[in-house]
Amino acid sequence: MNAGLEHFLTVGALLFGLGVFAVLTRRNAVGLLMGVELILNAANLNFAAFARYVEHGIDGQVLAAFVIVLAAAEAAVALAIVLAMFRNFGTVHVDAVDRLRR
Partner 1 sequence: MSGDLAFYGFAALTVLSAFYVVFSRNIVHAGFSLLFTLFGVAGLYAMLAADFLAATQVIVYIGGVLVLILFTVMMTRIPRRGAGGRGLDRFVPAGVFALLLFALLYKVITGTPWAEKAPVSADPTTARLGASFLTDFVFPFEFVSLILLAAMIGAAILIRDRRPAADDGAGGAAAPTGEEERS
- Which residues from 17-76 bind partner 1, rule CB under 8 A? 17-22, 24-28, 30-31, 33-35, 37-38, 41, 44-45, 48-49, 51-59, 61-62, 64-66, 68-76
Query: Segment 73-102, which members bind partner 1 (CB under 8 A)?
Result: 73-77, 79-84, 86-93, 96, 99, 102
Cα separation of 69 and 58, whole Å? 17
Q: Are 64 and 70 in contact (CB under 8 A)?
A: no
Bridge partners for 28 per DSSP:
93
Q: How many CA atoms lie within 13 A of 23 on its CB side?
A: 13
Total number of residues shown for the chain: 102
Task: Quote the least distance from Cβ 74 to partner 1, whole Å.
Answer: 8
The count of chain residues that interact with partner 1, using the rule CB under 8 A, is 79
The least distance separating partner 1 from the CB of residue 39, rounded to whole angstroms, comes to 11
